[in-house]
Structure 1
């Protein structure tokens, strides 16, 4: 629901402000992709996109999970 989404975002913001991580051993995934900017800088996200593109130029691995081709 909209309330659940709002509460989750508030929790993730608090975790990020406290220096915590919004993901664990399985990565960010589909549910938290819109919150990646809370714990990663624009430069880090750009680097992640570049690495994904270099290793998977056709976008066949984990299609649309974090970075779309």
Structure 2
């Protein structure tokens, strides 16, 4: 559940499937960092409030993966 009480998923811990993602090949200027040429950054937002939920840094040729996958 997001801070806005929006249910991002049910039955598992795969909350990213219910969030809005924004992928960056280069880190946004406000991050004040430079990513390695092989890396990308994906930000995850609540679809209701727009609140930032998480930021993943990952290889450009892959998609971010859920940290832990549990079926509930």
Q: TM-score, normalised by structure 2?
A: 0.27
RCO comparison, higher one (Cα < 8 Å, 6+): 2
Between Structure 1 and Structure 2, the one with more strand by share is: 2
User: TM-score, normalization: structure 1?
Assistant: 0.28
More helix, by proportion: 1
